[in-house]
């Protein structure tokens, strides 16, 4: 016993010296010099290879752009279905000097809304990704026309499927997800009228195991390409294991190199940089930003060599039209699966109409 105690004491002393030796306060300085501190709340881990990493990279790119004028702080792995945790995260970031709070998941919306309107934080600006709430003093939201690259990824899938069955791992049967599924389906059908899309919802934004299980279920039902609206790379890995193809989401991350074709991706810095710039300039007013491919806010990740050149050409041709604004996914006659009409011949849906979508188009079937 005594021996053990002696060793422990020795260790304590070593650590005490080590502690004295290290120099604190170097990273404190950075925050002090900055004009603005932006706090990010992430739902996942910053290195998740998907959704959160895309946000994190956007944050880093923004920080680099301002070169010291803007400091960042962040909290990762914040549970967005736990409002207490969401509120705490925002409050703690503000407590530590953040003037701008960026909530990077749908579920943070109510917490940010509550704080923004509470009157306690009128000098703090709140930016929320993927929500629909805002006010006219300090709360704005941002999102993008991810349906554009989704349509393109649908084209890739439609061209390459042999079974004509495309699998889609969806988060929730919620408008944002349904828009994506519909765009993907329309893209696939534009090159392959026989293609149908099967959707399995996992009822979570991200859960690697559940995502993988959903993908496996779809593969078992004969799907030979797996697309996803979920945060992790689970579906891609499942597809690779089954010898099928996969289309990722959020972030260009070929972890499943034998399966990965492409992915609809986000470039959050395209929103963050101009927005922070206008906040710095004192000119910012809350807006509901909706970035498109033209601004480069959303994009299709470069297609890998697994995609035949002719398919790549075809897809790139449509992509160019999208960038130039000549083509929109939701245009022309589109029917819902139940036979009702989503879009009339010759009509192009505007943002409000797109965000009123509440079911799947013909050719797509979802199970909860």
Partner 1 sequence: MNFIRVTKRDDLPVRMEVIIRLVAIVLSLIAAGIVILVFGVDPVRIFKSIIEGSLGTTLRIQQTVVKAVPLIITSLGIMVAFKMKFWNIGAEGQITMGALAATWVALFMSDSMPLFAKLLLMALASMVAGGLWAFIPAFFKAKMGTNETIFTLMMNYIAIKFVTYLQYGPWKDPNSNGFPKIAPFPENAILPSLFGVHIGWIIAIICAILIYLFMTHTKKGYEIAVVGESTETARYAGMDIGKIIIIAMFVSGGLCGLVGMIQASAIEKTLVSGIANGYGFTAIITAWLAKLNPVIIIVVCLAFSMLIQGGAYIQIAMNVPSAVSSIVQGIILFFIMGAEFFLQYKVGFRHNEAKEVA
Task: State which residue, 4 or 309, has the beta carbon closest to partner 1.
Answer: 4
Task: State which residue, 257 or 367, has the beta carbon closest to partner 1.
Answer: 367
Which residue is listed with tokens 């990273």?
Answer: 27
CB of 19 to partner 1, least distance (A): 4
CA distances from 222 to 198, 209, 213, 363 (A): 10, 20, 15, 16
Residues making contact with partner 1 (CB under 8 A): 1, 8, 11-12, 15, 18-19, 22, 24, 27, 39, 45, 73-77, 79, 81-84, 87-89, 91-93, 95-96, 106, 110, 114, 132, 172-176, 178, 203, 355, 358, 368
Query: How many helices (H) does the chain have, and how many strands (E)?
Result: 12, 16
Sign, CA dihedral 241-247-248-251, equals positive
Task: State which residue, 346 or 352, has the beta carbon closest to partner 1.
Answer: 352
Partners of residue 41 on adjacent β-strands? 75, 103
CB of 313 to partner 1, least distance (A): 37
Task: State which residue, 1 or 281, has the beta carbon closest to partner 1.
Answer: 1
Smallest CA-to-CA distance from 109 within 123, 122, 96, 128 is with: 128
CB of 172 to partner 1, least distance (A): 6
Rounded Cα distance, 218 and 199, in Å: 8
Task: State which residue, 93 or 102, has the beta carbon closest to partner 1.
Answer: 93
Task: State which residue, 74 or 284, has the beta carbon closest to partner 1.
Answer: 74
The two tokens of residue 359 are 């079911």
CB of 213 to partner 1, least distance (A): 17
Task: State which residue, 122 or 358, has the beta carbon closest to partner 1.
Answer: 358
Sign, CA dihedral 328-331-332-334, equals positive
Sign, CA dihedral 233-297-69-131, equals negative
CB of 46 to partner 1, least distance (A): 8
Q: Give the 3-state secondary structure of 314-362.
A: HHHHHHHHHHHCCCCCCECCEEECCCCEEECCCCECCHHHHCCCCCCEC
Smallest CA-to-CA distance from 273 within 38, 50, 53 is with: 38
CB of 141 to partner 1, least distance (A): 13
CB of 355 to partner 1, least distance (A): 7
User: What does R_g of the chain's alpha carbons equal in angstroms?
Assistant: 23
């Amino acid at each position: 016993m005594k021996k053990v105690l002696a060793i422990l004491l020795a260790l304590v002393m070593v650590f005490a010296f080590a502690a004295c030796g290290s120099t604190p306060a170097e990273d404190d300085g950075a925050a002090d010099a900055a004009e603005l501190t932006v706090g990010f709340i992430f739902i996942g881990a910053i290195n998740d290879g998907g959704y959160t990493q895309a946000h994190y990279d956007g944050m880093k790119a923004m920080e680099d752009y301002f070169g010291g004028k803007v400091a960042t702080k962040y909290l990762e792995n914040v549970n967005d279905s736990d409002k207490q945790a969401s509120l705490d995260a925002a409050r703690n970031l503000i407590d530590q000097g953040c003037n701008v709070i960026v909530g990077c998941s749908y579920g943070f919306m109510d917490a940010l809304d509550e704080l923004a309107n509470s009157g306690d934080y009128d000098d703090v600006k709140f930016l929320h990704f993927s929500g629909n709430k805002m006010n006219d003093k300090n709360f704005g939201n941002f999102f993008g026309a991810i349906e554009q690259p989704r349509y393109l990824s649908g084209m890739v899938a439609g061209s390459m499927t042999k079974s004509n069955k495309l699998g889609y791992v969806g988060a929730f049967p919620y408008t944002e997800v349904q828009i994506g599924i519909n765009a993907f389906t329309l893209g696939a059908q534009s090159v392959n009228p026989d293609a149908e899309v099967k959707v399995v919802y996992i009822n979570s934004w991200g859960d690697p195991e559940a995502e993988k299980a959903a993908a496996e279920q779809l593969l078992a039902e004969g799907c030979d390409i797996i697309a996803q609206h979920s945060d992790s790379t689970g579906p891609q890995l499942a597809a690779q294991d089954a010898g099928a193809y996969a289309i990722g989401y959020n972030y260009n991350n070929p972890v499943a190199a034998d399966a990965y074709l492409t992915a609809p991706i986000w470039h959050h810095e395209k929103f963050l940089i101009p927005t922070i710039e206008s906040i710095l300039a004192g000119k910012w007013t809350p807006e509901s930003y909706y970035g498109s491919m033209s601004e480069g806010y959303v994009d299709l990740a470069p297609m890998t060599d697994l995609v035949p050149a002719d398919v790549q050409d075809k897809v790139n041709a449509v992509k160019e039209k999208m960038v130039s604004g000549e083509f929109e996914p939701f245009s022309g006659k589109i029917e819902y699966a139940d036979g009702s009409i989503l879009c009339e011949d010759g009509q192009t849906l505007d943002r409000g109409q797109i965000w009123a979508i509440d079911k799947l188009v013909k050719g797509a079937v979802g199970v909860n």
